[in-house]
Structure 1
Amino acid sequence: MPPRSEEPRRDPTGSRRGSSRGGRGADPRSGEPGVGGISDARAYTPRGRTIREGGGVARSAPTGGAEQRRTPRSSRSGDPFRPALQVLDGGRAGAGRTGRRETAAGGRAGVVRTVSPRPAREPFDDDEAPAPRRRPGPRRPDRPAARRPSRKPRRPPKLADPRRRLRLGTLLALTLFAAIGIRLVFLQTVDTPAYADGGVTDRLAVVDLPAPRGAILDRTGARLAHSVEARYVFADPTRVKDRFATARLLSPLLGVPASDLAGKMKPRKLPTGNPSQFEYLARGVEIGKAKQIMALDLAGIGVHRDERREVPGGDLGANLIGFVSQDMVGLEGLEAKYDDLLQGQAGKKTYEVGQGDLAAPIPGGYSQTTQPKPGSSLELTIDRDLQFQTQRILTAQMAQTRGSVGAAVIIDVATGEVLAQASNPTYDAVDPEGSRPTDREDAATSFVVDPGSIHKAITYGAALQEGVITPDTTFPVANTITKGDTTFRDTHPANGQKMSIPGMLAFSSNVGTIEIADKLGRDRLIDYQKRFGLGQPTGEGMPGEASGRLLPADQWSLSSEGSVPIGHSVDATPLQMAAAYAAIANNGTYVQPHLIKEVIGPDGKKSPGPVPITRSVLSPQNAAALRTMLEAVTTVDGPDGRATGLAAAVPGYRVAGKTGTGLRYSDGRLQPGEVGSFIGMAPAEHPRYVVAVFVWSPGGEGGAVAAPAFREMMGYTLRHYRVPPSATSRSPKFEVFPR
């Protein structure tokens, strides 16, 4: 828009045109109303503000050749467009005026003072509009000047700075991204294992990999018990469609009641809250039956590699070896005693599986396998062939009795190794559930009895070692002797005759033995009982071995002076008594009996078993003298009588030993019947083996069984190990009643 000229425009009449409405803008001289023109419209600035906002029309007279400037009417003139213009102007009246004129008093036109226009105010100007300037001049007396109210111009509202908004928005966006980035770092580094584990756990399957259980071998390496490959059958309860129908199909193949199988297939929750996907149905299933089960193609039923314990001999050494559960845990015998060593360490396979119908290993998913570590094997001192023959002989001899219990032990004299250890009754270790608990006991270590006359060898050995007697000692022996309230008698009365020490052993004289013990004394006798291994477990290696019991010296009664020396008021096991005779055979040195020869690791490396405890009990000379005297038990047969152990003699070999008749107590109660026993060694001139046989029978037939059983066992043992007969030496001639 071109700038407006400073020269006021004039009409043709030479008078200035004003803008007036309603007569307020009329010329005072003519009273004609002013006629509005284009100048009224041009009087507004491009921003919509008037050059002057006031009351009345500026009028000028042609004085002094001064140019007259038109001024617009004020807002009070009733201009209908004024409110809109005020809105456009920011709501402030009188802003942006470019000049002001005042008239002289009396209504006459005065000199018009032109005020140089000020630049229009921008809405962003912070300075206040200056107060309107008034011109000096006389006031019209008839019309006082109108007083305008003093108004403080309002400041226009400030608009927001877009740059500040941009900076604030940028800062907020960066803060948000920084927080997200930090959280992502924590998720990817710090919290990764926790979140990963939480997700993987829900889809992991775990399968145990059983470790092959170690074998139990005899001294030659022959297997007495070992594990063979088998299968276990398992169920995934989440996939089994009809557990009752499935159980009915599996029951005849597994030999397990259908109700038990259905119960195992019932869905259940694990401690983690997840459903169980693995339940054992049977262990040690034969491979053939496992194939039949797989052929049924039952939903949720699977088969995996397992092992089964196999005992080739059935009842061979069953009371020693024991048995295991279906989970391959030792329950009795050596299987239980050395379970930790035999069972090894099981492995485990953990892998990801799908859910639902896709319950199969996920290719490329998480999978970890810990290989099982096989168990170690035990090599026993037992000889399988000798064990078999010992059991056979014992069973055959005991067939003559009813409701009896028998035990037999064979010991290598020099080493203390137990070559055979048999019990009767016995059981089939393949099917232990079909036997009674008493049938599974090892009688050699758990059968506690009064040893009876076989204890006399300990009394005579102590007397020899202490110098109370010699091999040539003789003295008169009465038929009876009373100790306290008990009278002791001999089964072979001497009638007061002198008897030799071999004669006393051959006829098992109670009176002669008690008289020797009186000279020995209770304290020394108890000391030798302990040296020979009585009153404490031997530590052979069997679990639950009984310790027996010795009567302390301060608890002896008057009758104990007679009962203890002849083997009563003493509790011992067959193994303890066998070890005591082995000390006599081993030139007076006691060697702890033991069953474990070697331990064979998973890598095949062999480690010897524990070193047996040894101690000296008798001197070699006294031990040899006692052995010679004990030969009388199996050889004396003449006009003076027959020895008690003739039935134990082994043709071709010199045998030294002793018969015994004792009692059995169970839970502190005396049991009916008697315990017949025989313990001997051969060849007597240089003993190699000791055999002990104990038989308890309610009818008292044990004595008739023990000696013949010994003869057969010792004869087989000597032939089995190819021991030469005693052809070059004969047993001495014993005189029972020397003249």
Structure 2
Amino acid sequence: MPPRSEEPRRDATGSRRGSSAGGRGADPRSGEPGIGGISDARAYTPRGRTIREGGGAARTGAGGGAGQRRTPRSSRSGDPFRPALQVLDGGRAGSPRTGRRDTAEALDGGRAGAARAGRRDTAAGGRAGVVRTVSARPVREPFDDDEPTPPRRRPGPRRPERPAAARRPVRKPRRPPRLADPRRRLRLGTLLALALFAAIGIRLVVLQTVTTPAYADGGLPDRVVSVELPAPRGAIYDRAGDPLAHSVEARYVYADPELVKDRFATARLLSPLLGVPASDLAEKMQRRTRPGTTTKSRFEYLARGVGIDKAKEITALKLDGIGVHRDEAREVPGGDLAANLVGFVSPDMTGLEGLEAKYDDLLEGQPGKKTYEVGQGNLAAPIPGGYSQTTLAKPGSSLQLTTDRDLQYQAQRILSDQMAQIRDGVGAAVIIEIPSGEVLAQVSYPGYNAAYPEKARPADREDAATSFVVDPGSIHKAITYGAALQEGVITPDTVFPVANTITRGGVPFTDTHPANGRRMSIPGMLAFSSNVGTIEIAEKLGRDRLIDYQKRFGLGQPTGEGMPGEAAGRLLPADEWSGSSYGSVPIGHSVDATPLQMAAAYAAIANDGTYVQPHLVKEVIGPDGTRTPAAAPLTRPVLSPQNAAALRRMLEAVTTIDGPDGQATGLAAAVPGYRVAGKTGTGLRYVDGKRQPGAVGSFIGMAPAEKPRYVVAVFGWSPGGEGGAVAAPAFREIMGFTLHHYRVPPSAEPAPKFTAFP
């Protein structure tokens, strides 16, 4: 191996490293300019090649003699990048065994496309060698990106050079690929965009027009609330328009037991405001499960119809689990005034008794409803412009009755005062206007306060005028005498002897005022209430005709006045008559009737023999104030006007005969200044078909007798039989007040004089 040369390392052109351009650092042996400094730094690329190496390379060959230099091992190995890697390692020379690489091959990368221009041999420094000069094409900068990096040549022996003629021809540069037409791309993009917008538009149209209801309805329940709009219940007025019962706005107080923290403390605070015992309130607030379910109770009424002022006080307490909401209360201004007639309602405003129950469908309103969208959470308020639908509430219609509030009050007061004199009694009073048949007052005893119906016994809440079924007794005799007059059996001047006793079917019938077989006039028979004389007249009339007139006068069927549950009474059918029935039926026994039925029969006598159905409802007032008169009452002729007038005249004897032969039974019913025609009666009371102890005393009369304006009927029952002492005085006071209340002038002529025993 030759010794390592100590002279500076040269590159492929023979120049030394470290020399500068422009003559500085030139090799004294070759005269070649060197590369050094900044030029040397710029000449190297990242792959280790220099610009000078790219332009050509000198390859040294083997010379003869001892001075000939051995080809470096790197040239034999054929690795053209080895010098470059050495440059990158710092530019140090390789080992003496490797020598220098052929820089021209390093530049070409093993490509065979470069043409060799010629060869020249030079000798330098006593060494013989051959230098091959290669004509090279311009070389691009190795960092230009438009030319791919030449492939790395595999190390190995160098192929012998082929002749120029045998070399592969230089390929023509490929034609660049044809670019796409921008106009086609623009048209395609436009079409795609239009298709996209069309699809979106069609979808929007479908959503807005076709499927909108489905989507809207699907989410509506989650954001829609409904509020009931209450409809006030109609009022009940008297004939002058004064309210007997009407509805007012109120509040109800409720509890959510699951939210009430201390039910006992809460009950103590609410008790004085609600007027309910604290123990009852605490019981309602106790947590419980609803019957038949596993659901916890979250709502319990504590009070209904609470006044607005009280409700505000309760709200101010801010009690946990206690709430207040709008309610309706039925107000009865008169308390017990006409309570048995008007009736009452439940807390839910449903009629339970009286006219409230009879006309519940007409009085109750139809609640409205408002449905609207609200916000979520704390914004639970109507959404402006959102869904909203309102069904207006329809208030109930009102009733205007034929009753007179003032007259009702006085009749109720008078009857109560009279009935208070007897023990455990039941009484009724009815006032009918002639000729309209309107009921001006209808009184029951005992009464109750309709504002607190739960405090009264069920029997005390009944309307006695339509439910008090009695054996009318002697007041029925007016029907028997009226039928006999109409059928010509008797005349006002008829006189015949009357015995003290008469027996029919083995049953004796006697008189309380014995005639002792004397001749007796028809007025006298009425004045002394002769049973024997009445039975004899009925036998001449006959059973069938008597039953027919009973029906004409309205017995045996409800009057249809308007009260619910009105009793029909009962007439004894002809096929059920026994031997004693011929004696009992004419004098008012074996007959069931109500006070109202008997009052209506006397009203037919007062109305010149025409029966007019008694009625309570005058007109219906709609929610808009429209007034609709009630249906006209049923009417039918019963007696001729002449016979009716004759019967009225004979009935005056009941309140006027007072002589040596005795006093008439109805003297206590006489009204000073007015002629009164009427009849007393003593009957029996039956409950569920069973006769009750005691007796029913009654008086029915009309005034002024010469031209009646009003009929008043009074009934009183007591277990001790004191009703007879009550009826006539009560009639006198009620009739007297009625005549004065309506300013009826006194009778111009005194009552006729009657002789009982001519």
Question: Taking structure 2 as the reference length, what is the TM-score of the superposition?
Answer: 0.70
Tell me: CA distance 1:402–1:244, structure 2 relative to 1, closer, same or farther (3 Å).
closer
Distance in 2, Cα, partners of 1:672 & 1:349: 60
Q: CA deviation at 1:182?
A: 9.6
Secondary structure in structure 2 of the residue aligned to 1:528: helix
Distance in 2, Cα, partners of 1:281 & 1:196: 40
Secondary structure in structure 1 of the residue aligned to 2:344: coil
Deviates more, 1:450-459 or 1:605-614: 605-614
Distance in 2, Cα, partners of 1:298 & 1:353: 27
The match for 2:219 among 199, 213, 217 is: 199
- Contact 2:256 2:285 survives alignment (8 Å): no
Tell me: CA distance 1:632–1:662, structure 2 relative to 1, closer, same or farther (3 Å).
same
Tell me: CA distance 1:278–1:670, structure 2 relative to 1, closer, same or farther (3 Å).
closer
The match for 2:402 among 358, 362, 381 is: 381
Whether 1:224 and 2:247 are equivalent positions in the alignment is no
Match of 1:213 in 2: 233
Residues 614-650 of structure 1 deviation map (CA, whole Å, 9 limit, x = unaligned): 1100000000000010001011110111111111011
- Contact 2:675 2:704 survives alignment (8 Å): yes
The match for 1:578 among 599, 610, 618 is: 599
Match of 2:417 in 1: 396
The match for 2:613 among 573, 580, 592 is: 592
- Contact 1:692 1:710 survives alignment (8 Å): yes
Match of 2:725 in 1: 704
Who wins on radius of gyration, i.e. which is larger? 2
**Which amino acid is 1:683 matched to?**
P
Match of 2:582 in 1: 561
Distance in 2, Cα, partners of 1:339 & 1:289: 29
The match for 1:445 among 466, 470, 484 is: 466
Distance in 1, Cα, partners of 2:267 & 2:218: 35
- Contact 2:375 2:381 survives alignment (8 Å): yes
**Which amino acid is 1:199 matched to?**
G
Distance in 2, Cα, partners of 1:368 & 1:250: 38
Tell me: CA distance 1:499–1:232, structure 2 relative to 1, closer, same or farther (3 Å).
same
Distance in 1, Cα, partners of 2:689 & 2:464: 17
Tell me: CA distance 1:251–1:184, structure 2 relative to 1, closer, same or farther (3 Å).
farther
**Which amino acid is 2:281 matched to?**
A
Which ranges of structure 1 fall in alignment gaps of 5 or more residues?
A: 1-169
Q: CA deviation at 1:229?
A: 2.4
Secondary structure in structure 1 of the residue aligned to 2:547: helix
Match of 1:682 in 2: 703
The match for 1:533 among 554, 573, 583 is: 554
Q: CA deviation at 1:605?
A: 1.3
Deviates more, 1:203-212 or 1:244-253: 244-253
Whether 1:258 and 2:281 are equivalent positions in the alignment is yes
Residues 10-69 of structure 1 deviation map (CA, whole Å, 9 limit, x = unaligned): xxxxxxxxxxxxxxxxxxxxxxxxxxxxxxxxxxxxxxxxxxxxxxxxxxxxxxxxxxxx
- Contact 2:479 2:553 survives alignment (8 Å): yes
Tell me: CA distance 1:665–1:275, structure 2 relative to 1, closer, same or farther (3 Å).
closer
Distance in 2, Cα, partners of 1:458 & 1:193: 75
- Contact 2:492 2:522 survives alignment (8 Å): yes
**Which amino acid is 2:332 matched to?**
V
Q: CA deviation at 1:306?
A: 3.0
Match of 1:411 in 2: 432
Distance in 1, Cα, partners of 2:699 & 2:431: 12
- Contact 1:208 1:348 survives alignment (8 Å): yes
Whether 1:423 and 2:444 are equivalent positions in the alignment is yes
Distance in 2, Cα, partners of 1:203 & 1:267: 30
Distance in 2, Cα, partners of 1:258 & 1:235: 9
- Contact 1:588 1:616 survives alignment (8 Å): yes
**Which amino acid is 1:559 matched to?**
S
Tell me: CA distance 1:592–1:734, structure 2 relative to 1, closer, same or farther (3 Å).
same
Match of 1:715 in 2: 736
- Contact 1:412 1:418 survives alignment (8 Å): yes
Secondary structure in structure 1 of the residue aligned to 2:598: helix
**Which amino acid is 2:704 matched to?**
P
Distance in 1, Cα, partners of 2:663 & 2:643: 26
The match for 2:693 among 672, 677, 680 is: 672
Distance in 2, Cα, partners of 1:199 & 1:614: 63
Secondary structure in structure 1 of the residue aligned to 2:252: strand
- Contact 1:243 1:266 survives alignment (8 Å): no
Distance in 1, Cα, partners of 2:662 & 2:535: 21
**Which amino acid is 1:324 matched to?**
V
Match of 1:30 in 2: none
Distance in 2, Cα, partners of 1:578 & 1:632: 19
Residues 229-271 of structure 1 deviation map (CA, whole Å, 9 limit, x = unaligned): 22233567897777776566445433453345426x87989x9
Distance in 1, Cα, partners of 2:343 & 2:473: 30
Distance in 1, Cα, partners of 2:298 & 2:387: 17
Q: How does 1:417-496 map to 2 (within 5 A)?
A: 417-496=438-517
Residues 265-310 of structure 1 deviation map (CA, whole Å, 9 limit, x = unaligned): 87989x9x99999776543210111111221234565434433211
**Which amino acid is 2:755 matched to?**
E
**Which amino acid is 1:731 matched to?**
A
Whether 1:334 and 2:361 are equivalent positions in the alignment is no
Q: CA deviation at 1:346?
A: 1.2
Distance in 2, Cα, partners of 1:577 & 1:467: 23
Match of 1:731 in 2: 751
**Which amino acid is 1:229 matched to?**
E
Secondary structure in structure 2 of the residue aligned to 1:331: strand
Tell me: CA distance 1:483–1:181, structure 2 relative to 1, closer, same or farther (3 Å).
farther
Tell me: CA distance 1:227–1:656, structure 2 relative to 1, closer, same or farther (3 Å).
same
Q: CA deviation at 1:339?
A: 1.2
How big is the alpha-carbon RMSD for the aligned residues of Structure 1 and Structure 2?
A: 3.2
Tell me: CA distance 1:297–1:193, structure 2 relative to 1, closer, same or farther (3 Å).
farther
The match for 1:361 among 363, 381, 396 is: 381
Residues 571-613 of structure 1 deviation map (CA, whole Å, 9 limit, x = unaligned): 0000000000000000000011000011111111111111001
Q: How does 1:137-176 map to 2 (within 5 A)?
A: none
- Contact 1:213 1:226 survives alignment (8 Å): yes
Residues 447-480 of structure 1 deviation map (CA, whole Å, 9 limit, x = unaligned): 0000000000000000000000000011111111
Q: CA deviation at 1:186?
A: 7.5
- Contact 2:375 2:383 survives alignment (8 Å): no
Distance in 1, Cα, partners of 2:586 & 2:210: 80
Residues 331-366 of structure 1 deviation map (CA, whole Å, 9 limit, x = unaligned): 1111111111111111223344566x6383354354
Whether 1:652 and 2:667 are equivalent positions in the alignment is no
Residues 51-96 of structure 1 deviation map (CA, whole Å, 9 limit, x = unaligned): xxxxxxxxxxxxxxxxxxxxxxxxxxxxxxxxxxxxxxxxxxxxxx
**Which amino acid is 2:233 matched to?**
R
Tell me: CA distance 1:559–1:359, structure 2 relative to 1, closer, same or farther (3 Å).
farther
Match of 2:658 in 1: 637
- Contact 1:212 1:344 survives alignment (8 Å): yes
- Contact 1:477 1:497 survives alignment (8 Å): yes
Match of 2:4 in 1: none
Distance in 2, Cα, partners of 1:242 & 1:687: 69
Q: How does 1:339-354 map to 2 (within 5 A)?
A: 339-353=360-374
Residues 662-720 of structure 1 deviation map (CA, whole Å, 9 limit, x = unaligned): 00000111000000000000010011100000001100000000000000011111111
How many positions carry a matched residue from both structures? 564
Secondary structure in structure 1 of the residue aligned to 2:502: strand
Distance in 1, Cα, partners of 2:310 & 2:461: 30
Question: Taking structure 1 as the reference length, what is the TM-score of the superposition?
Answer: 0.71
Secondary structure in structure 1 of the residue aligned to 2:430: strand
Deviates more, 1:334-343 or 1:302-311: 302-311
Deviates more, 1:253-262 or 1:552-561: 253-262
Residue identity (%): 79
Distance in 2, Cα, partners of 1:262 & 1:362: 33
Tell me: CA distance 1:533–1:200, structure 2 relative to 1, closer, same or farther (3 Å).
same
- Contact 1:233 1:304 survives alignment (8 Å): yes
